[in-house]
C-alpha cells in the first residue's frame, strides 16, 4: 500500500472519528434526559430526535470505523499487497467506514433502523449498511490473503 493510500485512510479515519465524536453530543443529551442530571429538567440545549440506542450506535460506529482505518493504515507495511489489492482494500474500507457512519447517523435523525428494505430513509440506511458489510468482508479477505502471503 502506498504512502498516499495510507494517508487517505488516516484522513478519512480522522473525519469519520470526528463524526462519531459529534454524534456523542446527542447521545449525551439523551443520557442526561434519562437520568435527569441536567440542572433544569426539560431545558436541554438540544433535544435530539431518535433514541438512546440509535445515538449510542452512531457514536460508536464513527469512532470504531475511524479506528479501523487507522489500524489498517498502520499494519499496511507488513502486508504483501499488490497495487490492485491495496486499491481494493482502501476503497472497501472507505465504503465501510462511510456507509456505517452515515447510516448510523441518518438512523436516529429519521427515527429508522435500517433493518429491512422499505420506506425511503429506512431503505437508505439499510443499503448503506449492506454496502458496509460487503466492504468490510472484501477488505478483510484481501488483508487475510496478504498477511498469509507475507507469512509464507
pLDDT digits 0-9 by tens, 34-66:
655 555 555 555 666 778 788 889 999 999 999
3-class DSSP state for residue 139? helix
Number of neighbours of residue 36 by Cβ within 10 angstroms: 9
Cell of 55: 445515538
pLDDT tens-digit series, residues 130-148? 999 999 999 999 999 998 8
Number of H helices, E strands in the chain: 4, 0
pTM score, whole prediction: 0.85
All residues at 6 or more sequence positions from 29 whose CB lies less than 8 Å from its CB, including other chains: 44, 45, 46, 47, 48
Task: Give the whole-angstrom CA distance, residue 17 versus residue 10.
Answer: 10
Q: Which pLDDT score, from 0 to 100, does residue 35 have? A: 58
How many other CB atoms sit within 10 Å of the CB of residue 138? 17
The mean pLDDT of the chain is: 88
pLDDT tens-place string over residues 19-32 = 999 998 888 777 77
Secondary structure class of 70 (helix, strand, coil) = helix
Q: Is the pLDDT higher at 152 or at 14?
A: 14
Residues 6+ apart with CB under 8 A from 137: none
Residue 7 has pLDDT above 80, yes or no: yes
pLDDT of residue 149: 84
pLDDT on residue 33: 67
Amino acid at each position: 500500500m502506498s504512502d498516499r493510500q495510507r494517508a487517505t485512510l488516516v484522513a478519512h479515519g480522522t473525519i469519520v472519528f470526528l463524526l462519531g465524536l459529534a454524534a456523542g453530543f446527542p447521545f449525551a443529551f439523551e443520557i442526561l434526559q434519562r437520568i435527569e442530571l441536567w440542572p433544569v429538567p426539560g431545558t436541554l440545549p438540544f433535544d435530539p430526535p431518535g433514541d438512546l440506542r440509535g445515538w449510542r450506535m452512531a457514536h460508536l460506529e464513527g469512532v470504531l470505523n475511524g479506528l479501523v482505518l487507522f489500524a489498517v493504515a498502520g499494519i499496511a507495511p507488513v502486508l504483501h499487497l499488490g497495487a490492485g489489492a491495496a486499491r481494493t482494500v482502501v476503497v472497501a474500507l472507505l465504503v465501510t467506514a462511510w456507509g456505517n457512519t452515515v447510516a448510523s447517523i441518518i438512523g436516529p435523525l429519521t427515527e429508522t433502523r435500517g433493518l429491512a428494505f422499505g420506506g425511503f430513509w429506512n431503505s437508505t440506511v439499510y443499503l448503506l449498511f449492506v454496502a458496509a458489510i460487503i466492504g468490510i468482508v472484501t477488505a478483510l479477505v484481501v488483508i487475510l490473503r496478504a498477511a498469509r502471503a507475507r507469512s509464507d
